[in-house]
Amino acid sequence: MELFFDNRQNSITIDEELLKTMEKAMVYCLAKEGLSNELEISISFVNNLEIKELNRIYRNKDKETDVLSFPQYDNIQNAKNITCLGDIVLSLEKAEEQAKEYDHSFQREVVYLTVHSMLHLMGYDHDDDLNTGRMRQKEEEIMVDLGILR
């Protein structure tokens, strides 16, 4: 897998262990869906101000969010010769806030958001109750399989 990390914030340090755990989770997500890990994915780390602006521009929602996913393909099942899966934009500031709110580690929150975003890149959504249930179940399965518990 070819990962491109772009750290566009300067308030939270990202260590190598976290990056390796994120990569492991991403490879596992691809394998779980039967996709090759010979794909490009970019991940940008931003602050709340930048993700709020991106959320306003791309989703017409003028509020902070934790992660945004920009899939390369609308329907990955029908895509041929996939080389790039898409882009992930993750607010480390929001992840830190949510880790405190949910009383678990920052690493767990970042990996969960990575899994969540990977599922979006692979076609999952939470646009209705049925799809939300499917996506949440898949997220939990993957986190348990990775041994990253609450």
What CATH number did the domain enclosing 61 receive?
Answer: 3.40.390.30
Mean pLDDT over each residue of the chain, to the nearest integer: 94
Average pLDDT of the segment spanning 116-144: 96
First to last CA, the chain: 27
**pLDDT of 80:** 64
Average pLDDT of the segment spanning 58-69: 98
| Crossing angle of helices 106-121 and 129-146, rounded to 10° | 130
| Predicted confidence (pLDDT) at residue 50 exceeds the cutoff of 60 | yes
Average pLDDT of the segment spanning 137-144: 98
Helix, strand, or coil here: 88?
Answer: strand
Of 13-22, 71-80, 105-114, 128-137, least confident by mean pLDDT is 71-80
**pLDDT of 3:** 96
Q: Which of residues 74 and 42 earns the better pLDDT score?
A: 42
Asked if residues 114 and 86 have their Cβ atoms less than 8 Å apart, the reply is no
Count of domains in the chain? Answer: 1
Query: Which pLDDT tens digit goes with each residue over 100-119?
Result: 999 999 999 999 999 999 99
Average pLDDT of the segment spanning 56-69: 98
Q: Which residue range is the domain that position 67 belongs to?
A: 2-146
Q: Which of residues 26 and 82 earns the better pLDDT score?
A: 26
Query: Which pLDDT tens digit goes with each residue over 73-100?
Result: 877 766 567 889 999 999 999 999 999 9
Instruction: State the pairing for strand pair 84-91/67-71.
Output: antiparallel
